[in-house]
Structure 1
């Protein structure tokens, strides 16, 4: 999906001045927001990126369907620039749209494999919803038990895209999977002039999920991330469960990295979306805001902040776990049935970890990846992922350290990856440094 008319003049102003707008705009209660969507017309929004009256009507209908029957909102707060409404766990959009009768209980997270030796000490970033904070309007940044934080789906957000499918897509061309190693028979067709480029570690192995610790940075550029992929299928039937952190100002209206998850059931075609933006992911945890920023990020030459993410296919559900300073917390799950009998309804066939970038226009620089430093810069300078293991079966057993082959798409002066196996990784197990400065010419 190639997005055109991405940034009309008004949209450019909106994205370039988020902090000024935040200081001058009034707080918008949930009922006021929803009434505004109900009353909105295309004439009011045709100066945005939305491509037609029909596209606007589809966007508006999607927002209203997500909130139909939402019930009472117990709290609303703003984290950075993102509104979040606390929704009853049983009335969240996916539960209603998929007709879920009962929300499942999570398994335990997989045991970490044994490791030997030491590794550099890292700092675990916790969810801001657990820190006792208030927003600039005095609202507590938290959600009560038995509710979940739902990032608000606004017309301002969705009309930065030409249509609803473009909003759901991982980025401009809708793609986002690294080119596979030569021993995996998958051929992906690039669907835009500006491709997604990657520096990743990959292993073709039957798995039921996996784990990594992700170092948190704020790279500069149009689109840059550090993430995990769990992949199955071939050609147009490729399916993924993904997650990590991403800098994607067009979608999230901030230059900071935010927490994200993503899935596709049809090779980034029409069955895909981020976070809770469609009826796919069921959240059970009140502490974590998908699409939210953190209070701490890594500093070049200083403290290295991050979080642990784990996916686990267990009894027909792809469970997401996150770990800050405490223990792993089950955040929620994709029902495997959304993969409609495809490979990820059974297991994944490959694991991939690393960085991805793209740019919206050839006049733009390719973004920084990771910290913006090449892997050779090393500890406290280059970004990394560590504690990388996969889950070999669906019974809840221990993980197995990954054995990764590296793939770099683009010029190594722009970004690269340097992998260390678990046999030499000390307490970090399998890990890699990755990233780089980007630049004008990178492919």
Structure 2
């Protein structure tokens, strides 16, 4: 593609495998068990920073209000001397028109609920907020507990996605043509995709209004997410920053939709993680906690809820800021974490999963169900060096398991801007791939 950059919007799911064995009373086995217990305790101490206040959420989670200067980010060797940027320097030449409410001191408020599935409510509330708030100078961090670590395949894989792996193929299935440019997308062994994609130059951010649902995950070893994903670098070692909502029983222990961020420097091989489960992301918002449940969620032919997600480069600091709702800053990915992401970027929203399971994507309904049935991303915007929020000039859609999950960029008329719909039920009898 030469110097061109790619921007996509995708929905994501992934597969983790937890292995175990039968109990053994041999002394050697007991010694290994004792060592494993010590390692779990050590990691819990590393992950859970001492809080000045503790809040118990009604859904069972615990939030610790931690001094902002003592958060996990600063355990990263590259951030030892990092100076926190408390607010972003982001001003665009034109903002996306919105009927959503004005920002409030706390991001809990929202517009009046309408019981018409044809209208959408801008929502940005978390269940833990009903039980308290963190004082100034602190950030809310979801407490990691022993059972969270024990669900992981290993302590080293806690909070991480599996590395990307691709099938060897020479056909057209893993590519899409956008404005004459061939974009390679897969197919991938441990994930699939329903994508809105555009090709252009020097993108410095992306945003969209993402519909919030609570899709069913078949197995604790899988996850499903709707997100914005900014990406750059070679295919086998790309760098990316991501944000949106996720259902991830392996990581969080339940089937709730939760606010998340993610980053990697090497295509998920060894760097990066969800939320604050490793050092890297700098959290700045005392009202919003990463990894905590969102609510309410959309329902079939009922009220629709959405939140604006944005990831944008701050040219004053080169930090990649995550904002949600009405431009509410959550925090940022510092440039010290990356090489390629200090330059032009690509953004996408993907679903990734071990193929042919019954894990749902989006709402669990196919894209052609449209508003009230299918999950959507509205007000899709890219940002470039003109510092303007604008709809991409060239777009295309792609899905690699079209009988399981579908993608549709739909506009009712030429005068309307398209809405990106995506989703599906996954494997349901008969096999969703029986027509392939």
What is the deviation of 1:176?
8.9
CA contact (8 A) 1:59 1:163 kept: no
Q: Secondary structure at the match of 2:158?
A: helix
Q: Secondary structure at the match of 1:207?
A: coil
CA contact (8 A) 1:312 1:318 kept: yes
Q: 2:321 aligns with which of 302, 319, 322?
A: 319
Structure 1 residues 63 and 114, CA gap change in structure 2 (3 angstroms): closer
Q: Secondary structure at the match of 2:303?
A: coil
Q: 1:204 aligns with which of 199, 220, 225?
A: 199
Matched, 1:404 2:395: yes
What's the Cα RMSD here? 3.4
Q: Secondary structure at the match of 1:220?
A: coil
1:319-398 to 2 correspondences below 5 Å? 319-323=321-325, 327-339=326-338, 342-348=339-345, 350-353=346-349, 355-359=350-354, 365-393=357-385, 397-398=387-388
Structure 1 residues 84 and 154, CA gap change in structure 2 (3 angstroms): same
Structure 1 residues 79 and 431, CA gap change in structure 2 (3 angstroms): farther
Q: Secondary structure at the match of 2:207?
A: strand
More contact order relative to length (CA 8 Å, sep ≥ 6): 2
Q: Secondary structure at the match of 2:279?
A: coil
CA contact (8 A) 1:288 1:331 kept: yes
Alpha-carbon separation, structure 1, partners of 2:427 and 2:280: 36
**Unpaired stretches in structure 2, ≥5 consecutive residues:** 1-13, 24-28, 100-116, 167-172
- With normalisation by structure 1, the TM-score equals 0.75
CA contact (8 A) 2:176 2:398 kept: yes
Q: Residue 90 of structure 2 corresponds to which residue in structure 1?
A: 108
Q: 2:212 aligns with which of 202, 216, 225?
A: 216
Q: Residue 123 of structure 2 corresponds to which residue in structure 1?
A: 125
What is the deviation of 1:292?
1.0
Alignment size in residue pairs = 376
Q: Residue 155 of structure 1 corresponds to which residue in structure 2?
A: 146
What is the deviation of 1:155?
2.1
Structure 1 residues 2 and 220, CA gap change in structure 2 (3 angstroms): closer
What is the deviation of 1:6?
4.2
CA contact (8 A) 1:366 1:442 kept: no
What is the deviation of 1:289?
1.2
Q: Residue 434 of structure 1 corresponds to which residue in structure 2?
A: 422
What is the deviation of 1:184?
5.5
Q: Residue 278 of structure 1 corresponds to which residue in structure 2?
A: 278
Q: Secondary structure at the match of 2:213?
A: coil
Alpha-carbon separation, structure 2, partners of 1:216 and 1:276: 22
- With normalisation by structure 2, the TM-score equals 0.76
CA contact (8 A) 1:81 1:254 kept: no
Structure 1 residues 277 and 122, CA gap change in structure 2 (3 angstroms): same
1:266-305 to 2 correspondences below 5 Å? 266-305=266-305
Structure 1 residues 434 and 63, CA gap change in structure 2 (3 angstroms): same
Structure 1 residues 174 and 214, CA gap change in structure 2 (3 angstroms): same
1:287-337, CA deviations, whole angstroms, 9 ceiling, x for partnerless residues? 1111111220001111100111100111310100010xxx31111001011
Alpha-carbon separation, structure 1, partners of 2:43 and 2:285: 24
Q: Secondary structure at the match of 2:193?
A: strand
* Structure ranking higher in helix proportion: 1
Q: Secondary structure at the match of 1:356?
A: coil
Matched, 1:73 2:52: yes
Alpha-carbon separation, structure 2, partners of 1:160 and 1:357: 20
Q: Secondary structure at the match of 1:388?
A: strand
**Unpaired stretches in structure 1, ≥5 consecutive residues:** 11-41, 47-51, 135-139
Structure 1 residues 333 and 5, CA gap change in structure 2 (3 angstroms): closer
